[in-house]
Structure 1
Amino acid sequence: MQLTEYINTLGKDLKKRYGERVHKLTLNGDFTCPNRDGVLGRGGCTFCNVSAFSDESQAQQSIAVQLASRASEVSHKANKYLAYFQAYTSTYAEIEQLASLYEQATFNQNIVGLCVGTRPDCVSDDVLNLLSSYLFRGYEVWLELGLQSANDKTLKRINRGHGFAEYQSTCQKARARGIKVCTHLILGLPKESDTDYQQTLRQVVEVGVDGLKLHPLHIVRGAIMEKSWRAGRLTTLSLEQYSQSASSLIRHTPADVIFHRISATAKIEQLVSPLWCEKRWPVQNRIGKLLQELGGQGSAL
């Protein structure tokens, strides 16, 4: 069973358009976040500890070294790449610094595009203009916006520091410039249920979106949520619960939306709960079987 039979995946879309596999190379631009440095708050979002999925020592290396290292790891899989600024808020710097980093990332001739992960409230018009300039040079450009939920009460509860309105505005301005938007959503946030997940999806689709990333809430060491989990005030989804919810969202997603990810993992030394988030294949296989049984992406519309 291949997930691409039931889901419009990024890998499938890129291979169709480029005629070969294109792989993402994760980069660390040594950014921080306004929800950590005091501009909006301290401590970050309650679920966050970037070191659980990203090697923060990577930020001490030049972009060229990072690219070469990451490319060597996947050279047997692909020869064309997307440069992906993943850690923290990768638009949160002076425009000159951003231009320098993005230029370094696209210097390699095997890089066909940029993916930039950020918050909806940290994307100025200058940043959007900079990113759109790469479109005119023939690059693929994805703006990855961490929304997590469209419910403003949930966003306040997890200390996001922004609401849905900021997401809506940034998303519309980016897409008006031709920049593709990939929206990150978390399933299993406190006090949310399938009803909330479906409402978030409806609002995101209504605004307009090009891609989605689905993540299960997982508790990692050092995150604010760790204390709540250890005190018994917070639970996480089982593999089956997440698979059921994620497959339902996929079935309610229009077929032209591209899924960049349908689950997520964390380093085992950092992971507290649920432990099934250590490995990606069990949950991907379960979601695939559910879609095989019930129908693929867009079948529930």
Structure 2
Amino acid sequence: MTTLSEQVPTFGQYLLKRHGERVHKIALDAAFTCPNRDGSKGLGGCTFCNNVSFSPNGRQPRPIKEQLASGRRVIRKRTGARKYLAYFQAYTNTYDEIEHLSALYDEALADEDVIGLSIGTRPDCLPDGVIDLLAGYQDQGYEVWLELGLQSAFDETLAKVNRGHGFAEYADSVYRTRDRGLKVCTHLIAGLPGETAYHVTETLHRVLELGTDGLKLHPLHVVKGTQLANAWRQGEYQPLTLEAYVNIAADLVEQTPSNVVWHRLTGTAAEAILLAPLWCARKWLVLNAITTELHRRRAACRQVA
């Protein structure tokens, strides 16, 4: 059976072809907050948000240089890679004054092994000045990706999970960002409250119609300390089964043009905080199941042909 990277255009393969060697992300926490948490748009954040579930450094982060050094040691031991992207991941990494953003990004790029940036943010936190700043790094030859957290193209869903923005803000950000030549990776979530496979597929189509260079998909998982956890305990939210998620992921892969790179096809949470579904803690179980399903579908198509 073929591997996942043989069936799906993955980000790792994209970087290998582009730079001629393995390139890995190092996740960073620069102590940003979010307009949906600090009161400017709301309090408490998204109903599913517990930063511990995606930040390896918690809320008292070490200096950027120390985080890079630590991440580099782990990655070199695991894969041997010696080139990296500084991945500003936790919360909203464009939500500050330009001068502070520039200082943080410059600090990361000062590391000779860091060849670029990947900046995670919200579509409503991208003033033109930030886009100009990032485009400037790309003009200097750095690999730059802007990761936009959309999750769903349905405003009703976004309101239900307390996102604090709608699809219109995402569309505006994509237009302005791609107009400057920056690469966009769009984050999507399968299994949001009230949504079915139809909603995820329709979201994909709307995103592709606007234009995106990359995609990230993960299942909605219930973690401790969130509003979603309360809804789950009260029986008001039922997470996706592994089978349902695998089918959704395979559908999306099949409907995505080959020039769009898949940065991620699943997401995990630490077992210490994960409540449901428990299969979300097993990354390779999910990826192997997606690989098997894609292989099964393609084999069936060949037989029909």
Q: TM-score, normalised by structure 1?
A: 0.96
Cα deviation, residue 53, structure 1: 2.3
Alignment counterpart, residue 110 of structure 1, candidates 100, 113, 117: 113
Contact 1:58–1:66 under 8 Å retained in 2: no
| 3-state DSSP of counterpart to 1:120 | coil
Partner of 1:191: 194
| Aligned ranges 1:18-29 → 2 under 5 Å | 18-29=19-30
| Aligned ranges 1:64-79 → 2 under 5 Å | 64-76=65-77, 77=79, 78-79=81-82
Q: 1:291 & 1:57 partners in 2: Cα distance?
A: 36
Moved more, 189-198 or 259-268: 189-198
Counterpart code for 2:71:
R
| Aligned ranges 1:200-279 → 2 under 5 Å | 200-279=203-282
Cα deviation, residue 238, structure 1: 1.0
Contact 1:11–1:21 under 8 Å retained in 2: yes
| Aligned ranges 1:87-102 → 2 under 5 Å | 87-102=90-105
Counterpart code for 2:133:
L
Counterpart code for 1:213:
K
Counterpart code for 1:244:
N
| 3-state DSSP of counterpart to 1:295 | helix
Partner of 2:182: 179
Contact 2:28–2:57 under 8 Å retained in 1: no
| 3-state DSSP of counterpart to 2:112 | coil
Partner of 1:11: 12
5+ unaligned residues in a row in structure 2: which ranges?
A: none
Counterpart code for 1:201:
L
Instruction: Give RMSD over aligned pairs.
Output: 1.3
Cα deviation, residue 199, structure 1: 0.7
| 3-state DSSP of counterpart to 2:90 | coil
| Structure 1 ranges of 4+ moved more than 2 A | 55-60
5+ unaligned residues in a row in structure 1: which ranges?
A: none
Counterpart code for 2:227:
I
Cα deviation, residue 279, structure 1: 1.4
Cα deviation, residue 58, structure 1: 6.7
Cα deviation, residue 55, structure 1: 3.1
Q: 2:293 & 2:256 partners in 1: Cα distance?
A: 15
Cα deviation, residue 295, structure 1: 3.3
Q: 2:59 & 2:70 partners in 1: Cα distance?
A: 10
Q: TM-score, normalised by structure 2?
A: 0.95
Cα deviation, residue 61, structure 1: 1.2
- Quickly say closer, same or farther: Cα 1:4–1:16, change in 2 above 3 A: same
The one-character-per-residue Cα deviations of 1:123-177 (angstroms, maximum 9, x if unpaired) are 1100000000101110011000000000011011110000000000101111111
Partner of 1:45: 46
The one-character-per-residue Cα deviations of 1:187-233 (angstroms, maximum 9, x if unpaired) are 00011111111110010000000000001010000111000000001
Q: 2:179 & 2:143 partners in 1: Cα distance?
A: 15
Partner of 1:288: 291
The one-character-per-residue Cα deviations of 1:98-117 (angstroms, maximum 9, x if unpaired) are 00000001001111110000
